Amino acid sequence: VNGFIYDFPSHDVTRDFFFNVGDSFGITKWGTVALLAGAAAIFLFTIVWKMSIWARGRDYPLPGFRDRRFFSVLKTVFIPKDFLREWYPGLMQLSYVWGFLLLFLCSAAVLVQEYISFLFFGYRFLTGYIYLLWTLASDVSYFLLLAGTALAVFRRKRLRPSRLDTTPQDMAAIVIVALAALSGLLVNALRIAVSDYPGFETWAPVSWLLSLPLALIPFETLMPVHFLAWWGHILSVCVLIAFAGMYKMGRFTAAGINVYCTQPLREDGSDTFAARLSSDSCKGAEFIDDFTWKQLMDLDACITCGRCQDSCPAYLSGLPLSPKTLIGELSRCMDEHNRFANGEPANGEIRDYVSSGELWTCTQCGACVECCPSGVDHVRKVMDMRSSLPARGKAPAELHAAWNNLADKGNRFGVDNSERGKWMSAKSMVPALAENSRAEYLFFAGCASSFDAEAKKSANAFLQLMKNADVSIGVLGMEEGCCGDFALRTGNEGLFRKLAIHNLRNFTRYGVKKIVTACPHGYNILRKEYRALALSLNDPEIRADYEVVHHTQLIASLVAEGKIKPVKSPTPVAMFSDPCFLGRYNKVYDEPRNALRAVPGLMLVDAVHSHEHAVCCGGPLSAYSSGGLKMGEYRAREVHQSGARIAVSACPNCKTMIREGLSEISVENIRTLDIAEFMLESSEG
Ligand code: SF4
Ligand code: SF4
């Protein structure tokens, strides 16, 4: 005996795990193991079955074991995403996750002791202080699971957030967890009561409290109740394990695997949301098995939390798109395609499940992916689904018209391309590379700055700023072509390739080493898909060995170097509106703010949704979905609420959409300026 704990010899500070249910090595002990093994086999079978369905998808890189994926799973599971913004679901997740982890560890310790260490070596280690810690952890695990359950029930039955639909499956999962935890506590409380309340059992505080009223019930009544509760607990744990791979609980299991399989992205955003370019992917996803296996896994990994729905600009603006519903529809398509029952399975054609309205309302803003705790990628799925349509002539007529304009005239607006390059004013005029190919930077104007009146003003202000700062800069003028982002995002990869190759040939011919652009869409595609395309072509006349910066980054570095000197703010309060393709797509959040903070007398504010949570203005695709303007209105309302007098944009689309949105909601006292215009006004005092 190594001392006494609570007046008990330390080896007596333990419990008989088979107390009151049979002899040590009888049917009970092996029957319990058989039940647990059966439940584990069901769990494994369902996971393998699901994997066989995912495996029908197309190729996607298999995860390796040597990168940091394991830690990303741990981080995602144990540190709820956006815990501070989403504290209620975050608390619920923490309760469940830590509850399950402790329950698993405590149960594993019992199995190891009873079926390995005691069976083979006659040694029990759950005694003394180890037992006290074990019983505390076990009690806490039940408490956390019950707390998570209570939070879940209160949320679903009383708070009822609109993003949650409560189905019988959701409630069944809650009940199964609750039964396992409650029965565990009850067995413990009954055992404490019939064991005459040994002092060391106060280390299981919840069970101890539950046991106190049981003192009023006769011993002879408690013993059979304990027997029934013990078996009830074992059976409920078996049900929990068996169902962990299917229905709602299976989604949580799939989510863990999915996060592990999600490709880790670079922190500088240089591969975030990059399109998958290949001749194969031009075909897109017409049938469910046209998705990759990872995309199919996504469909099972959606835990239907609805975070994506609450972040989607289309949904928030009342348009017919909810990313959560979209994933649900695809999930149903996959399930029905792979179902054995009811005769023939469905053919898995996606258009039977996803409407054209949903498909074309998505702006590709990426807010849904950013907030998804399960690693679901909606953006790539929408692109793949769209990619299947051009070849079949199934895209909306307006898009076909825009593609025809792009193919024939080099811009989607249908303006004669001879107008391109005529946007520069006398004050901002810089030479074209055809006249001076030694300019340090190429300013890639893009279609908006070439043809849209408001974007032209921004581009002119930027060139004026550059001239004032003595930056050597040139343009392509007439030789520039559309960057192809619109074609790519609407699923017309063939057209994108044609447009991109035209520009890449010019970059290579002029030996362009640095490109600056005022359009986040152009910046993104020049940085990612142009590089991937140039690499795949392996043609010495088509290279993408240039550095590309967004104009906000160049302005910020010139401000830091003192080459742009703001002297007076045009307004006391301004708000910077994060463009999706600059922020979420490329992680550029600080540079524009740093430049603006250097303006004397300016208070810079943010919208309710900013940085990675910024709500999309609608972007260029909104022009092709009915009601697209509503997204601009939503963004304009946030500008209005911010108290700013100037909305500073860093994207031609944001500037237009916010301006039109403000006009729609009849707000006339807020100006919209591109950051270049704002900095030019500030430097001129
Ligand atoms: S896709 Fe992600 S964010 Fe959306 S409901 Fe599913 S798990 Fe939640
Ligand atoms: S990418 Fe943006 S618009 Fe499209 S579903 Fe996601 S949140 Fe909605």
Tens of pLDDT, residue by residue over 399-435, are 899 999 999 999 998 888 888 889 999 999 999 999 9
User: For residue 18, is it left (φ>0), alpha (ψ between -120 and 50) or beta?
Assistant: alpha
Question: What is the 324 CA–ligand 1 centroid distance (Å)?
Answer: 6
Question: What is the 298 CA–ligand 2 centroid distance (Å)?
Answer: 16
Average pLDDT over residues 149-160: 96
Q: Among the bound ligands, name the one nearest to the CA of residue 625.
A: 2
pLDDT for position 23: 65
Q: Is the CB of 324 under 6 A from ligand 1?
A: yes
Q: Is the CB of 76 under 6 A from ligand 1?
A: no
Answer yes or no: is pLDDT of 625 > 80: no
Q: Is the CB of 375 under 6 A from ligand 1?
A: no
Question: What is the 325 CA–ligand 1 centroid distance (Å)?
Answer: 9
Q: How far apart are CA 363 and CA 510, in angstroms?
A: 34
Q: Is the CB of 305 under 6 A from ligand 1?
A: yes
Residue 354 DSSP label: S
Q: Among the bound ligands, name the one nearest to the CA of residue 82.
A: 1
Question: What is the 312 CA–ligand 2 centroid distance (Å)?
Answer: 5
Q: Is the CB of 376 under 6 A from ligand 1?
A: yes
Nearest to 679 by CA among 474, 523, 463: 463
For the ranges 75-89, 152-166, 392-406, 410-424, the lowest mean pLDDT is seen at: 75-89
Q: How far apart are CA 314 and CA 316, in angstroms?
A: 5
Residue minimizing CA distance to atom 2 of ligand 2: 365
Residue minimizing CA distance to atom 3 of ligand 2: 362
Predicted confidence (pLDDT) per residue in 524-562, tens digit = 999 999 999 999 998 999 999 999 999 999 999 999 999
Say which residue, 392 or 230, is predicted with more confidence: 230
Question: What is the 82 CA–ligand 2 centroid distance (Å)?
Answer: 18
Question: What is the 221 CA–ligand 2 centroid distance (Å)?
Answer: 60
Residue minimizing CA distance to atom 4 of ligand 2: 362
Q: Is the CB of 367 under 6 A from ligand 1?
A: no
Q: How far apart are CA 420 and CA 412, in angstroms?
A: 12
Question: What is the 5 CA–ligand 2 centroid distance (Å)?
Answer: 60
Average pLDDT over residues 149-158: 96
Q: Closest ligand 1 atom to the C-alpha of 306? A: 5
Q: How far apart are CA 443 and CA 472, in angstroms?
A: 10
Average pLDDT over residues 487-495: 92
Q: How far apart are CA 89 and CA 167, in angstroms?
A: 18
Average pLDDT over residues 327-343: 86
Q: Are 363 and 386 in contact (CB under 8 A)?
A: no
CA dist list (Å): 522 to 81, 313, 459, 482, 528: 30, 21, 14, 9, 10
Question: What is the 79 CA–ligand 1 centroid distance (Å)?
Answer: 17
Q: Among the bound ligands, name the one nearest to the CA of residue 617.
A: 2
Q: Is the CB of 680 under 6 A from ligand 1?
A: no
For the ranges 269-283, 510-524, 622-636, the lowest mean pLDDT is seen at: 269-283
Cβ < 6 Å from ligand 2: which residues? Answer: 311-314, 321, 323, 362-368, 378-379, 616
Answer yes or no: is pLDDT of 257 > 90: yes
Q: Could you give the 3-state DSSP secondary structure of residue 474?
A: strand
Q: Could you give the 3-state DSSP secondary structure of residue 205?
A: helix
Question: What is the 569 CA–ligand 2 centroid distance (Å)?
Answer: 35
Q: Closest ligand 1 atom to the C-alpha of 304? A: 5
Q: Are 333 and 353 in contact (CB under 8 A)?
A: yes
Within 8 A by CB and 6+ apart from 88, the residues are 151, 155, 159
Residue minimizing CA distance to atom 2 of ligand 1: 372
Answer yes or no: is pLDDT of 282 > 60: no
Q: Is the CB of 194 under 6 A from ligand 1?
A: no
pLDDT for position 341: 54
Answer yes or no: is pLDDT of 338 > 90: no
Q: Are 469 and 564 in contact (CB under 8 A)?
A: yes
Q: Among the bound ligands, name the one nearest to the CA of residue 324.
A: 1
Q: How far apart are CA 176 and CA 431, in angstroms?
A: 72
Q: At 144, which helix (H) or strand (E)?
A: helix 128-154
Mean pLDDT of the chain: 92
Residue minimizing CA distance to atom 7 of ligand 2: 312
Substitution candidate for ligand 2 out of 329, 364, 524 with most atoms within 8 A of CB: 364
Position 142, amino acid: Y
Residue minimizing CA distance to atom 8 of ligand 1: 305
pLDDT for position 67: 63
Q: Is the CB of 327 under 6 A from ligand 1?
A: yes
Answer yes or no: is pLDDT of 281 > 50: no
Q: How far apart are CA 443 and CA 420, in angstroms?
A: 14
Question: What is the 373 CA–ligand 1 centroid distance (Å)?
Answer: 7
Residue minimizing CA distance to atom 7 of ligand 1: 302
Percent with pLDDT over 90 in the chain = 81
CA dist list (Å): 481 to 8, 126, 399, 608, 625: 85, 73, 19, 37, 25
Angle CA(373)–CA(379)–CA(381) in degrees, nearest 5? 100
Predicted confidence (pLDDT) per residue in 421-476, tens digit = 899 999 999 999 999 889 999 999 999 999 999 999 999 999 999 999 999 999 99
Report how many helices (DSSP H) and strands (DSSP E) the chain contains, helices first.
Answer: 28, 10
Nearest to 248 by CA among 185, 164, 190, 313: 164
Q: Closest ligand 2 atom to the C-alpha of 366? A: 1
Question: What is the 302 CA–ligand 1 centroid distance (Å)?
Answer: 5
pLDDT for position 110: 97
CA dist list (Å): 209 to 201, 407, 607: 10, 76, 49
Q: How far apart are CA 658 and CA 637, in angstroms?
A: 9
Substitution candidate for ligand 1 out of 170, 298, 376 with most atoms within 8 A of CB: 376
Substitution candidate for ligand 1 out of 77, 251, 307, 368 with most atoms within 8 A of CB: 307
pLDDT for position 547: 97
Answer yes or no: is pLDDT of 148 > 70: yes
pLDDT for position 344: 75
Average pLDDT over residues 182-203: 97
Q: Closest ligand 2 atom to the C-alpha of 312? A: 7
Within 8 A by CB and 6+ apart from 385, the residues are 284, 285, 350, 354, 359, 491
- Cα end-to-end span (Å), the chain: 86
For the ranges 187-196, 202-211, 254-263, the lowest mean pLDDT is seen at: 254-263
Q: Is the CB of 500 under 6 A from ligand 1?
A: no
Q: Is the CB of 303 under 6 A from ligand 1?
A: yes
Q: Is the CB of 164 under 6 A from ligand 1?
A: no
Question: What is the 307 CA–ligand 1 centroid distance (Å)?
Answer: 6
pLDDT for position 392: 77
Question: What is the 620 CA–ligand 1 centroid distance (Å)?
Answer: 25
Q: How far apart are CA 585 and CA 384, in angstroms?
A: 18
Predicted confidence (pLDDT) per residue in 18-54, tens digit = 999 976 557 888 999 999 999 999 999 999 999 999 9
Question: What is the 365 CA–ligand 2 centroid distance (Å)?
Answer: 5
Answer yes or no: is pLDDT of 279 > 80: no
Q: How far apart are CA 588 and CA 593, in angstroms?
A: 10
Predicted confidence (pLDDT) per residue in 135-146, tens digit = 999 999 999 999
Within 8 A by CB and 6+ apart from 117, the residues are 123, 124, 125
Percent with pLDDT over 70 in the chain = 97
Tokens of 368: 């849904």
pLDDT for position 394: 80
Predicted confidence (pLDDT) per residue in 177-187, tens digit = 999 999 999 99
Question: What is the 376 CA–ligand 2 centroid distance (Å)?
Answer: 12
pLDDT for position 664: 93
Question: What is the 374 CA–ligand 1 centroid distance (Å)?
Answer: 7
Substitution candidate for ligand 2 out of 362, 612, 630 with most atoms within 8 A of CB: 362
